[in-house]
């Protein structure tokens, strides 16, 4: 076999080996797709009941009026008391519930209040007035709100100790009762007397944060 034939065979073998190598390198692209459904943090308020009790039970003296309204986004509950007088009582029941899939913790509770006197003077309340008696109760998620409360007391600030850091899972609900009685004690020194013709507005504010981002105060 002469050198030309040998060279031709060698070139042919090299060409075939290259063709085989190219075939071995053929491939296809695989695509892995993923969808992440982000949980939503959504904690809202619901107003359940508002009850009013006239002094001594006489309906004809029912000149006072208590209203409680929710904002359009269900994040703010505003309570307004008009024409209140000694021995007038009112009660409010509302709940805080978790609509979103993201567990939330309640924090940063505070009381906001404003008193507008008959002459138009406005005073921001930093504490519950002496002439306003308060009591409260709460039912934790899973409790029957028609049964005995899980916690109760008479100092409005104490309720925040139980609600601070409370975690709500989706569909969880904590029910809160607030009761108020307006009274006067003219024998006290100095006298305790509710202002006549005053308008009382107040609200309890709080934050709801992602459960794993909660920082105790």
30 has pLDDT over 70: no
List the structure tokens of 103: 């567990």
Domain that holds residue 145: 43-213
Both structure tokens of 61: 């003296």
DSSP state of 3: H
- Cβ atoms of 143 and 150 within 8 Å: the answer is yes
- 32 assigned to some structural domain: no
Structural domain contains residue 137: yes
Over residues 125-150, mean pLDDT: 92
Range scoring the smallest mean pLDDT among 62-66, 93-97, 134-138, 152-156:
62-66
Domain count, the chain: 1
What strands lie across the sheet with 89-98, from one edge to the other? Answer: 43-53, 89-98, 173-182, 132-139, 151-153
Task: Provide the pLDDT for residue 149.
Answer: 97
For the segment 206-210, the average pLDDT, to the nearest whole number, is 89
Q: Is residue 6 part of a domain?
A: no
pLDDT > 70? residue 74: yes
Q: Is residue 33 helix, strand or coil?
A: coil
Per the omega criterion (within 30 degrees of 0), is the bond before 20 cis?
Answer: no
- Residue 23 domain-assigned? no
* Structural domain contains residue 157: yes
**Residue with token string 């504490």:** 127
User: If phi over 0 gives left and psi between -120 and 50 gives alpha, with beta otherwise, what is residue 57?
Assistant: left
**pTM exceeds 0.85:** no
Enumerate the β-bridge partners of residue 67. 80
In a domain, 82, yes or no: yes
Residue 18 resides in a domain = no
In angstroms, the CA 105 to CA 139 distance is 16
In the predicted model, is pLDDT for residue 174 greater than 70? yes
In a domain, 7, yes or no: no
First to last CA, the chain: 96
pLDDT of residue 28: 62
pLDDT at 22: 47
């Amino acid at each position: 076999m002469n050198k030309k034939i040998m060279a031709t065979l060698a070139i042919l073998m090299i060409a075939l080996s290259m063709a085989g190598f190219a075939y071995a390198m053929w491939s296809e692209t695989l695509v892995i797709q993923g969808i992440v459904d982000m949980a939503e943090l959504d904690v809202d308020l619901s107003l359940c009941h508002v009850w009013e009790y006239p002094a001594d039970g006489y309906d004809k003296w029912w000149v006072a009026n208590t209203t409680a309204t929710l904002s359009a986004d269900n994040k703010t509950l505003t309570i307004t008391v008009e024409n209140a007088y000694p021995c007038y009582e009112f009660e409010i029941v509302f709940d805080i519930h978790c609509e979103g899939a993201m567990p939330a913790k309640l924090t940063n509770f505070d009381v906001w209040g404003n008193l507008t006197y008959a002459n138009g003077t406005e005073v921001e309340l930093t504490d519950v007035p002496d002439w306003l008696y308060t009591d409260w109760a709460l039912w934790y998620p899973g409790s029957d709100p028609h049964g005995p409360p899980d916690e109760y007391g008479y100092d409005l600030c104490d309720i925040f100790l139980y609600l601070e850091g409370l975690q709500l899972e989706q569909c969880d609900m904590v029910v809160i009762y607030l009761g108020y009685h307006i009274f006067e004690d003219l024998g006290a020194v100095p006298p305790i007397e509710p202002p006549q013709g005053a308008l009382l507005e107040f609200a309890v504010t709080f934050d709801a944060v992602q459960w794993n981002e909660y920082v105790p105060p």
